Amino acid sequence: MDETRAGLTPDYESAFIRSLLESSGARVLNAFSDGERAFQKALKRRCGERAREYEVTDSSDVVCFFPSLSSEVVATAARRELQDPVALEAGHLQPINNRIGALKASRPYAGGGRPFVEDRLSAEWQRRNT
């Protein structure tokens, strides 16, 4: 899809989606051009004053909202390295395998959960607060 053709806003959101949302009563904010700083305010409120909005990236969002998919992508991309018998025997890969397994088992929407930012970021910000 060509994101530069007419009909799309400069912020790469489809105009018809925005109009549908707004006509149904939703208030639409764009995280890339957040003049009201809504995301930054929510981030500070939920994660503390040491939270940094610039640390929330597209990749951290993928890990946050789709952890199982993220684990599969990492495992697939590093398959050869993760199967290195020397590294496996030495135990060097165990922390990586543990993290991949934890991501694969993660269910952020279970029990009505509503993920906000990647747990790793939130934990780092909390450590900074102590």
Q: Residue 14 pairs with which residues in a beta bridge? A: 8
Angle at the Cα of 48 from the Cα atoms of 46 and 49, rounded to 5 degrees: 135
- Within 10 Å of residue 103's Cβ, how many Cβ atoms? 20
How far is 100 from 87, CA to CA, in rounded Å?
Answer: 16
Which pLDDT belongs to residue 16?
A: 76
pLDDT tens, position by position, 4-55: 455 555 555 567 788 889 999 998 877 667 778 888 999 999 999 999 999 9
Q: Taking the model in full, what pTM does it have?
A: 0.71
Cα separations in angstroms, 127 against 18, 69, 115, 121: 38, 27, 20, 10
pLDDT tens, position by position, 56-107: 999 999 999 999 999 999 999 999 999 999 988 898 999 999 999 999 999 9
